[in-house]
Amino acid sequence: MLPESVRQHGQIERPVAPGGVAWGPVAPPLRLGEQLAARMAELIEHGEFSEGDRLPAEVELADRFGVSRPVIREALSRLRLTGAIVSRKGSGSYVQKRADLAPRTMDAVGFGPVNSLAEVRKCYEFRMGLEGEAAYYAAQNRTPEMLIIMREALERMETATAQGKVGMSADLEFHIAVARASGNEFFEAVMQSMRTPIEFAINLGRSLSLTRPREHLRIIQTEHVVMIDAIEARDKDAARLAMRTHIQNACSRVFEGPGDKGRGA
């Protein structure tokens, strides 16, 4: 069975008052990747993809759903974060379970595109507090499954580094996984609502790093390793410090460039 294009779905009909005006709450539009993740979760739940099955390759999924490969990657990222699928290095993505698959949506206002470098700096400043605390609680509440997701994202960042690619989606997936591992859905909800400015900041920082010596990319990778090691060790204070240090360094890398302390990826 070939699913219909995801673009044809996801719209909820609202009651229409006399005169043709629709009544009902106004919600921010779902990203295409979020719509596709929900659609794929439904297909898994209804047996289109069974537990243990290997999902089709990205190019085939893109063709079947009528979307681009970046949209496929975002949807797969969301499904990994819910635990619906698991990636195996060099093999692909596999269905991990069928229960509780639908990615959660948020009744929150999403942030739009970044309009200035001042907003980029503010985004970093806010993330230091938010993600530092998320990492603290992730060290307390993380599960083996969430550690696997973080490690997989780390591996994809490693691959991107080796290939001289930006690796933005894997980096973002890592940070959202930390928020989800906190066990507090508010951390993840805020991260998801900030997805657009965070993507911009990560893409900017990692793109700049590609113009600098390879050692700077290694520094970024090491910062993520320190974070996940602290979370795995359940060292809450170290996890918080590692996350705050990483985000502060990321901000410095964008606005100050390479520094004497090796922070300039």
74, 100, 126: which is the final residue of a domain? 100
The answer as to whether 173 is a domain residue is yes
On whether the CB atoms of residues 258 and 212 are closer than 8 A, the answer is yes
* Domain shared by 155 and 251, yes or no: yes
Give the pairing of strands 85-88 and 92-95: antiparallel
The answer as to whether 166 is a domain residue is yes
Q: What is the pLDDT of residues 30-89, one digit of tens each?
A: 578 888 888 888 888 888 888 888 899 888 998 988 888 878 888 887 787 777 888 776
Q: Quote the domain boundaries for residue 162.
A: 117-255
pLDDT for 112 equals 61
As to burial, measured by CB atoms within 10 angstroms (0-12 exposed, 13-18 middle, 19+ buried), residue 196 is: middle
The answer as to whether 4 is a domain residue is no
Confidence class for position 211, pLDDT limits 50, 70, 90: confident
* Domain shared by 139 and 247, yes or no: yes
* Domain shared by 125 and 94, yes or no: no
Of 108-122, 172-186, 225-239, the one with minimum mean pLDDT is: 108-122
The answer as to whether 149 is a domain residue is yes
The answer as to whether 262 is a domain residue is no
CATH assignment at residue 79: 1.10.10.10
Which carries the bigger pLDDT value, residue 250 or residue 261? Answer: 250
* Domain shared by 153 and 204, yes or no: yes
Q: Which amino acid is at 241?
A: L
pTM of the model: 0.65
Q: What is the pLDDT of residues 159-179, one digit of tens each?
A: 887 887 778 888 998 999 999
75, 100, 125: which is the final residue of a domain? 100
Q: What is the pLDDT of residues 131-167, one digit of tens each?
A: 999 999 999 999 988 898 899 889 888 888 788 777 8
pLDDT for 89 equals 67
* Domain shared by 144 and 221, yes or no: yes
Whether residue 244 has pLDDT greater than 90: yes
The answer as to whether 214 is a domain residue is yes
- Asked whether the CA dihedral 28, 33, 34, 40 is positive or negative, the reply is positive
CATH assignment at residue 178: 1.20.120.530
100, 130, 153: which is the final residue of a domain? 100
CA distance 218 to 212: 11
How many structural domains are present in the chain? 2
Tokens for 231, please give them: 């979370």
* Domain shared by 159 and 81, yes or no: no
* Domain shared by 56 and 167, yes or no: no
* Domain shared by 83 and 184, yes or no: no
The answer as to whether 17 is a domain residue is no
